[in-house]
Amino acid sequence: MSEQLKLIVEQLNREPFKKSFNLITFDSLEPMQLLQVLNDVLAEIDPKQALDIREEMPEQTVKRMFTLLGMLKYKPPGGFSDVSGFRQGLVTGSKPVVHPILHWLLQRVPELKKRAYLARFLVKLDVPSEFLADEVIAEVYHQYEEVVEGFKNYHKECEQLRTFGFSAAEIRRDISAMEEEKDQLIKRVERLRKRVESVSNHQRMLEVASQLRVEKEREESLALQKQEQKNQLFQAEQRRQRCQLQLKDLRQAAADAKPESLVKRLEEEIKFNSYMASDKVPKELERIRSKVHYLQKVASEPAMGHAELDELEEKIKELNQMNQMMEKKMARTDPMDDNLTLYRQQASIIARKKEAKAEELQESREEITSITRELNAKSQAVGQGGVEIIRSDEFKKYVAKMRGKNIVYKKKRQEMAEMKAEFGVLQRTEEVLRQRHTAAQQHLQSLEAQRGISGFSETQEELERVSAIKSELDELKGNRLDNMSEMVKKINSAISEKKSALSPLIKELRPLRQECQEISQEYEEKKALYDTCAAGLESNRSKLEQEVRTMREETSQEENRYHQVNCMKEITEIQLQRAVDEMKIYVSSDPQTRKKSIREQYMKYIAEQESLGKKLREEQKQVKESHGPNMKQVRMWKDLEQLLECKKQCNLRAQSQVSIGQVIQESGEDRLVL
């Protein structure tokens, strides 16, 4: 308990509460103050709870808190399993009730905030079923459920974006890095532009290069279109093959279908359907109806007390004993005495087998229909998505191809292992040669130092390296110039080829463009006519819908009025018939018949009640007369009981004093003996 209080005080002293409590001050809070603290915590979770509890009735406060705690799925501790006791403790601000609530709330404030926020939108309204029979209310309720489901999806997407999305700092870092890369690219472009400006006719070369890039992009797009068309052609071929297979299967099924087999199959299906309709389904309906009737009967009966439950348990025990006795009697009797017992058993076994087989057949049919539906859906998905279905021969070819690739992979892996081993040997050789080279360099430097020409070998190596670099640069420069000239020639030749290839296409494209313009103009005119016609039809449709709606409302009102009038008519006819019957009975000369009239019955009932009232008044009079002496006798018995109790206490005290005196006397005698 102290740990619980420590946690509560620690959390209340933090943000956002800032209560500045300690254990003593918090434990000494009054019930109203403790309830106000609880209300402040609930207001942090749900801002609608931010109220002063002194401004509302205690019942309203407890009802509001109780509703919010139920929405937050708070479960009281084991000592408050009774809801009324928990509610009473919450009304009085009892510490054993409020402290566990605060401890539970303060441990999970963020989670409860989220739950309270979602509860405003996800707790569905409880609409009675009789109101949902109205079409308008049912449609609105259906829209409300769709909006709730949409909110759930949007909230999940928002949570996923919050969980897996980038933060603002990361986005800023990415933007800064992209800006730096942009600056570097701009600088690089400027450097390349400065280099290219020194070359003659560079502008023409740039234009040719841009045209080449455009043509390459167009070539890539044409290649993609070609590949897409090939894929579409392949998919169409696959669909054609599937349709041919289905057609073949259907033809085979039609060829195998003889009239006798079809008639036999239909007869079997008719027998099964007739059995289901006449035997199995009525039994199921009767069983369900009896179960519903029994449940309705149980639900309509009032709540039973312990005495009634005990009586029912005794009756159940008696019935169980009787059933056991009947079973023993049936077991003692010889079943062969009854000639029909064997046939009844066989008939029951056959009926059970028949029901089991019918259920298996029904399940098999449902499974076949579900599999057929799934197969159709998958075939449609395959046809729409363009997924290739691999047949058995294609799968065998694929397996053989994969085996060949596996053999090649193993060979390549072996070659890689050999190359890795050779690489290790060469690496070791390089290390040995490098060590020897360093040793020779050190020896050469020592000899140069002895002869007084230290650094001669390094200078000579540097000169050789610089000359080699210069020759490489010259060669590279020449190669680049040659490559650039060859590239320009290739670009010019490619441009001329593209122009020659595109000239007939351009000639064909010109009349098509003109035709496209004419068709588009005609399309716009037709579209304008269609829009005007559609608008007129839409307005007429809306008017007709409004008229139909009003007619339906009037029809429903008239139907309601008609049914109401019919009901009133039937009630009036029944009352009139009862009055006529009563008059016939009242006018009848037969005294036995007149006794059956409602008037005679009510007169008899009134006489019985009057006699019962007289008896009760007499009993009341007797009770009032004997009340004074009886109360006096009760008081005398109570006084007698008190006197007897006093005597009992006096006797007990006397016995205890005698026993203490005996103990003291015995101890004194023992001392004298010593």
For 69-81, how does the pLDDT look when each residue is reduced to its tens digit (9 = 90+)? 877 778 777 645 5
Per-residue model confidence (pLDDT) at position 637:
92
Q: CA 530 to CA 534: how far, in whole Å?
A: 6
- Give the pLDDT band of residue 669 (cuts 50, 70, 90): low
Give the residue with greater pLDDT, 569 vs 157.
569
Give the H or E element holding residue 464.
helix 456-587
- Give the pLDDT band of residue 575 (cuts 50, 70, 90): confident
Give the residue with greater pLDDT, 489 vs 672.
489
Per-residue model confidence (pLDDT) at position 673:
42
Per-residue model confidence (pLDDT) at position 378:
72
Give yes or no for residue 84 having a pLDDT over 80.
no
Nearest to 352 by CA among 424, 280, 420: 280
Per-residue model confidence (pLDDT) at position 671:
47
- Give the pLDDT band of residue 541 (cuts 50, 70, 90): confident
Q: CA 20 to CA 13: how far, in whole Å?
A: 5
Per-residue model confidence (pLDDT) at position 636:
92
Per-residue model confidence (pLDDT) at position 334:
47
For 311-362, how does the pLDDT look when each residue is reduced to its tens digit (9 = 90+)? 778 888 888 787 777 766 655 554 444 555 666 667 777 777 777 777 787 7
Q: Within its chain, how far is the Cα of 157 from the centroid?
A: 14
Q: What is the DSSP string of 58-114?
A: HHHHHHHHHHHHHHTT----GGG-SHHHHHHHHHHT-HHHHHHHHHHHHHTHHHHHH
- Give the pLDDT band of residue 42 (cuts 50, 70, 90): confident
The CA R_g of the chain, rounded to the nearest whole Å, is: 52
Per-residue model confidence (pLDDT) at position 211:
85
Give yes or no for residue 615 having a pLDDT over 80.
yes
Give yes or no for residue 560 having a pLDDT over 60.
yes
Give yes or no for residue 416 having a pLDDT over 60.
yes
- Segments in 588-597 forming alpha helices (H): 591-595
> In this structure, is the dihedral angle defined by the CA atoms of residues 430, 431, 432 and 434, taken in order, positive or negative?
positive
Give the residue with greater pLDDT, 385 vs 432.
432
Give yes or no for residue 524 having a pLDDT over 80.
yes
Give the residue with greater pLDDT, 135 vs 627.
627
Please report, for the chain, the start and end positions of each structural domain, with discontinuous segments joined by +.
1-123, 166-198
Give yes or no for residue 143 having a pLDDT over 70.
yes
For 173-197, how does the pLDDT look when each residue is reduced to its tens digit (9 = 90+)? 878 888 888 888 888 888 877 777 7
Tokens 């021969």 belong to residue:
393
Give yes or no for residue 390 having a pLDDT over 60.
no
Query: Average pLDDT over the chain, rounded to whole?
Result: 78
Give yes or no for residue 642 having a pLDDT over 50.
yes
- The pLDDT > 90 percentage for the chain reads 3
Per-residue model confidence (pLDDT) at position 337:
46
Section 407-433 average pLDDT:
83
- Both structure tokens of 262: 């079809």
Per-residue model confidence (pLDDT) at position 511:
80
Section 531-552 average pLDDT:
85
Per-residue model confidence (pLDDT) at position 264:
78
- The pLDDT > 70 percentage for the chain reads 82
Q: CA 250 to CA 282: how far, in whole Å?
A: 38
Domain 1-123 fold is Actin-binding Protein, T-fimbrin; domain 1 (1.10.418)
Section 612-636 average pLDDT:
89
Q: 399 Cβ partners below 8 Å, 6+ apart?
A: none
